[in-house]
Chain A
């Protein structure tokens, strides 16, 4: 709502109407003191606003350009995820997980499948695990590319967005090649993956990775070290580790504050314990540790680490072998009773699924721990005191996906 809610919206005056009288005003008694008071303005940002990354609505109270209070209003994309999780069988539910964090659909598939495999006790073949790793890490790169590109857009730099999408299209081509979809893959299935690698796929990934590493430097030239970009992001939205942990932030937002915490390292799932990779953290190169620039920088570095992981996975990919576990079809009818929580490292943080199964085909309760939901909750405490333009920079640096916030 660009304008409707602001033009006619309820701008409840938070202070009494201003009184304004000059000392020489003949209409006023001479002892009336001059009382010039400003009034807080309530403005409405979203759900249709270019920089709210979807349909986030923020009610913002501003004093001039300074934000004094912010109240995020979510739910404009609530799609009944958890109810559907109870209403369809777990095999049917996999495509729905694509649509929550649609920028990292592979990761969502993986999180759900791992959780179901944990509850239903399914062993996944090794080759499938490698293919999963490759797909997930490629998807992580694609997701971070969108995050960086749209972050540039938020700050008024249009061109990096197009460069980011150019690289992303290459990744989408690779993922489409293996599963036939550009955005909602439904590729990682319970017990394995949908299909084996097509001929030439592995070689094309290698070619792409070589090209991509050189092109990552373009972002450094265009955005990272740009003076205006640094001025807009460094020392803006500084987040300490304690604050981040208290608000339950995970992923690049937490690592941007300087805490080396990555579930791929803390609680290795898939085969992450077989790969060498670093966990980049914010170090405050341009400003303080934990500012917007650090969060951006962590994402940029993570893409390089993902490239490393994909390379190693491609090297170790066993030739031949099963890609699907035996006997998973029965999950469409009955499962083992039990409950379990499993968290994985999504590009946005800890994506967790908590499933309760009573032995039927549908899970009795399927709860999603959406990283964006938790990350977004910090806005309320971060925005007050910043400027309006900084608010946009902070929202962009938190990198939310509304599909996941609202589910």
Chain B
């Protein structure tokens, strides 16, 4: 948005524009075809028949970082790879999001102690939006991570200035209590995401 980014007054019209832009961004998160290790197989599985991330509009895997919105760092990053990951992140156009998938990218995972070569968490060189723990995380966990990201995007300010909004995570957590860990003030009202709740989700989240 460049010129007008978070510079216009926070009125109904700019909020409406924010809502529209955020809806577009959150409904069309294109991940990059970028697998590193074991997690990449689960990332492939989440795009494949049984789990099908395309349902959420996040299934158009782009091979080039220029056209991707989300970098799923799927697998252990070592000293040799870290520069590549950093560079790929730099090549993506704004707005860009990073999902740290798997224990290795979250904090080194099983290679934390004796992995002389392994970077203990990609937070050390790129900003991370969503951490998805697991070794490897199940495909459902990745979908949940994407939906968390969608809510985070919905809470972002694009045109209007003002204080950042609090993301609304209600109704998307598959396991009760997951949300509470991130933000204890949020109460999990519905612990299962039924089809009806899911289809209404992107717009409902924007009301906060």
Contacts and interface: CB of A to CB of B under 8 A. Distances in A.
B84 A80 contact: no
Contacts of B65: 2-3, 48
B75 interface: yes
A99 B37 CA distance: 8
B20 interface: no
A402 B39 CA distance: 12
A217 interface: no
B115 A80 contact: yes
Contacts of B188: none
A182 B65 CA distance: 29
Interface of A: 1-4, 47-50, 54-55, 75-80, 83-84, 87-88, 95-96, 98-99, 102-103, 146, 161-163, 165-166, 168-169, 182-184, 402-403
Given A4-B88, A80-B114, 20 more contacts: A77-B75, A77-B76, A77-B81, A78-B78, A78-B80, A79-B37, A79-B111, A80-B111, A80-B116, A80-B117, A96-B110, A99-B110, A103-B41, A161-B48, A165-B44, A165-B45, A165-B48, A166-B49, A182-B45, A182-B136
A2 B85 CA distance: 11
B64 A3 contact: yes
B118 interface: yes
Contacts of A169: 45, 48-50
Contacts of A80: 111, 114-118
Interface size class of B (residues with CB under 8 A): 35 or more
Contacts of B66: 2-3
Most B CB contacts (10 A, CB to CB) among A80, A95, A98, A103 go to A80
Nearest to B34: A48
Nearest to A83: B114
B62 to A, nearest CB: 10
> Which 10 pairs show the lowest CB-CB distances between chains A and B?
A165-B48, A102-B38, A166-B49, A87-B114, A169-B50, A76-B81, A84-B114, A50-B63, A2-B64, A80-B115
B69 interface: no
A366 to B, nearest CB: 12
